């Protein structure tokens, strides 16, 4: 499958670079923005916008101090809000006048959002650090989501998987050994009936849970067929009584002891593991690699159609794309970056963590993102809400 091949290719480039076997020298880190070298007759455009930028991103995704550094350098005040699900962001965009200049949808949602005219085309002349991005990843994004890379700039990618408090899970399972396929821990009654005692958490989002459930029952995770959602919901109904939490804040849930197993995002689970270590917890937290594969996601920055501060938005995107900033994101938030120039700045313990930068043979098993029609998303929400209520 071409799509899969390209994603694998993109990742092998990342893995190779992370191992220090770079195929080409990294793109140079650009010097501070030379203000447009326009000919004398045409004065350089002046940014007359008010010095404000409104950003809407996922929680636990930006290193501490990064917006402050941007503010200090540019004098642009950043209002930074967070959302926990693609559905929440989508509802804001559909309603219009969100007030946000930059939003960070997953590519699964970004595609219909582009088609729905919710974003403006990027002025690429204002984002010189676009050259830092991995061309293979950008080609995949252009092919599947954003033709000609007109609207989207990658923030990070990662995968949806199972995170566990290893210590508590071992205790709750007793004599039952860990399953070969980690998805069994959250979907198979034999396991969930035991793990409910220490807490099972699901992400609170139809488009996170139904695709994973579809994958588990051997169907296309990105099926647009409502009959498949019914099959997924039937499987989920069998474990409903064992699910304690519906939550998108797995760092607190797992590290704070509310759950011992969660369907969650690779980087957040790694952040939970770090937090447990910092707190000197005796419990070990681990992001698992299910034998049948995990679901890749790709989160992307876009400038809203009605953004009041598009110049500031371009400046922020360019700032984030500096190799050192993208590397800080990977190092501190534990998500891989699509910024090729950043790879050499990623710490060896992050580059070598197989649950952050997965190895190529596991990558080949992972499910690349696709997207859903609006009708499919509605049907999925109905199936998911039915499951949630059906305790």
Closest by CA to 342, choosing from 354, 328, 332, is 328
Q: Which of 6, 13, 17, 61 binds ligand N2P (CB under 6 A)?
A: 61
Main-chain dihedrals φ then ψ at residue 214, nearest 5 degrees: -60, -45
- Which stretches of the chain are assigned E, i.e. beta strand? 52-57, 77-82, 102-103, 153-165, 200-202, 245-246, 261-265, 285-287, 295-303
Closest by CA to 157, choosing from 24, 10, 318, 281, is 10
Q: Which of 146, 242, 268, 283 binds ligand N2P (CB under 6 A)?
A: 268
d(CA 170, CA 177): 8
Q: Which of 7, 83, 119, 265 binds ligand N2P (CB under 6 A)?
A: 265
Q: Is 34 exposed, middle or buried (0-12, 13-18, 19+ CB in 10 A)?
A: exposed
Q: Which of 106, 163, 293, 310 binds ligand N2P (CB under 6 A)?
A: 106
Which of 303/333 has CB closer to ligand N2P? Answer: 333
Shortest distance, position 89 Cβ to ligand N2P, whole Å: 10
Select from 135-143, 263-271, 300-308, 364-372 the region that touches ligand N2P (CB under 6 A): 263-271
Long-range contacts of 93-96 (CB under 8 A, 24+ apart): 93/118, 93/304, 94/118, 96/306
Structure-block tokens of residue 279: 């707190």
Q: Which residue is nearest to ligand N2P (CB)?
A: 58
Which of 161/312 has CB closer to ligand N2P? Answer: 161
Which of 192/207 has CB closer to ligand N2P? Answer: 207
Structure-block tokens of residue 35: 């203000």
- What's the CA dihedral at 299, 302, 308, 312 to 10 degrees? 90
The partner residues of 246 in beta bridges, in order of sequence, read 202
What residues numbered 176-215 form the site for ligand N2P, per CB under 6 A? none
Which of 27/88 has CB closer to ligand N2P? Answer: 88
* 8 A C-beta contact, residue 299 and residue 318: no
Select from 58-66, 95-103, 221-229, 231-239 the region that touches ligand N2P (CB under 6 A): 58-66
Q: Which of 14, 17, 60, 332 binds ligand N2P (CB under 6 A)?
A: 60
Using CB under 6 A as the binding rule, whether residue 154 contacts ligand N2P is answered as: no
What residues numbered 287-306 form the site for ligand N2P, per CB under 6 A? 297, 299
Binding site for ligand N2P (CB under 6 A): 58-61, 106, 158, 265, 267-268, 297, 299
């Amino acid at each position: 499958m071409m799509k899969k091949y390209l994603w694998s290719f993109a990742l092998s480039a990342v893995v190779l670079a992370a191992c220090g076997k770079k195929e080409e020298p990294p793109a140079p880190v650009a010097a501070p923005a030379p203000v447009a070298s326009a000919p004398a007759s045409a004065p350089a455009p002046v940014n007359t916008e008010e010095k404000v930028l409104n950003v809407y991103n996922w929680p636990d995704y930006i290193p501490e101090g990064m917006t402050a550094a941007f503010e200090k350098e540019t004098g642009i005040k950043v209002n930074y809000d967070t959302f926990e699900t693609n559905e929440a962001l989508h509802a804001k965009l559909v309603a219009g006048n969100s007030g946000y200049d930059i939003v960070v949808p997953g590519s699964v949602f970004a595609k219909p959002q582009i088609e729905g005219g919710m974003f403006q085309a990027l002025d690429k002349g204002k984002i010189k650090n676009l050259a830092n991005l991995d061309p293979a990843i950008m080609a995949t994004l252009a092919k599947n989501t954003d033709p000609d890379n007109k609207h989207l700039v990658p923030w990070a990618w990662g995968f949806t998987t199972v995170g566990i408090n290893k210590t508590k899970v071992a205790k709750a399972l007793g004599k039952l050994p860990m399953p070969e396929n980690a998805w069994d821990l959250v979907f198979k009654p034999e396991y969930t009936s035991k793990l409910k005692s220490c807490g099972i958490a699901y992400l609170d989002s139809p488009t996170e849970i139904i695709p994973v459930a579809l994958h588990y029952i051997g169907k296309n995770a990105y099926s647009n067929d409502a009959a498949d959602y019914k099959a997924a919901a039937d499987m989920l109904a069998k474990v409903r009584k064992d699910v304690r939490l519906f939550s998108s804040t797995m760092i607190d849930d797992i590290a704070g002891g509310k759950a011992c197993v969660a369907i969650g995002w690779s980087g957040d689970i790694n952040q939970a593991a770090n937090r447990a270590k910092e707190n000197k917890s005796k419990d070990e937290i681990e992001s698992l690699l299910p034998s049948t594969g995990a679901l890749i996601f790709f989160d992307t920055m876009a400038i809203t159609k009605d953004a009041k501060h598009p110049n500031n938005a371009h400046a922020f995107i360019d700032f984030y794309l500096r190799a050192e900033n993208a590397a800080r994101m990977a190092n501190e938030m534990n998500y891989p970056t699509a910024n090729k120039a950043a790879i050499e700045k990623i710490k060896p313990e992050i580059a070598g963590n197989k649950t952050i930068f997965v190895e190529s043979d596991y990558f080949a098993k992972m499910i690349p993102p696709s997207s859903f029609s609006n009708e499919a998303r509605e049907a999925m929400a109905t199936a998911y809400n039915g499951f949630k209520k059906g305790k």
